[in-house]
Amino acid sequence: MKKISVIFLLLLISLTTVLYVTWIKPPIVEKASAEEIHSDFYDVLLVLLDPYARKVINKEYPNRSYALWDAEILEVKRLTGGYSHYDFTVKVKYDTYTGPFNPPEGPITLTFHVTTEAVSVIKIQK
């Protein structure tokens, strides 16, 4: 009886080791495609922040434009913890250009402060 228990235990350990070693792990994606990054929620956030970004960019750089499909949300951070607190900072990078055929002017990164009361731009980085 003791011999059968030892054999069963060794068999169980070997099976567990084989399963652990051969378990298929999902591949790590180095660079995600634009379709994978731009989910509906991602795009809605860009659209809702667009009027504030356009106003600041047009004031600071009157000749520059940008396209929403080329904007990138870098960070969304909740400032006050817990459920039902809606106080965020959102950092978005906009690739700007002057005219349709000119080379890019470079990125402008805006940091927004978003609450239920208002949205404001708190930092502009070139």
- 3-state class of 85 per DSSP? coil
The pLDDT value given to residue 49? 95
For every residue of 101-126, DSSP letters joined together read SSPEEEEEEEEEEEESS-EEEEEEE-
Q: CA–CA distance from 97 to each of 57, 94, 104 (Å)? A: 11, 10, 4
List, for residues 72-119, the tens digit of each pLDDT value. Answer: 999 999 888 777 788 999 999 999 988 776 778 889 999 999 999 999
Using CA atoms, how far apart are residues 116 and 101, in angstroms rounded to an integer?
39
For strands 65-66 and 87-97, give the pairing: antiparallel
CB 57 within 8 A of CB 92: no
Q: Which two tokens stand for residue 86?
A: 């809606």
List, for residues 21-44, the tens digit of each pLDDT value. Answer: 566 555 555 665 555 666 888 889
The pLDDT value given to residue 81? 77
pTM for this model (two decimals): 0.67
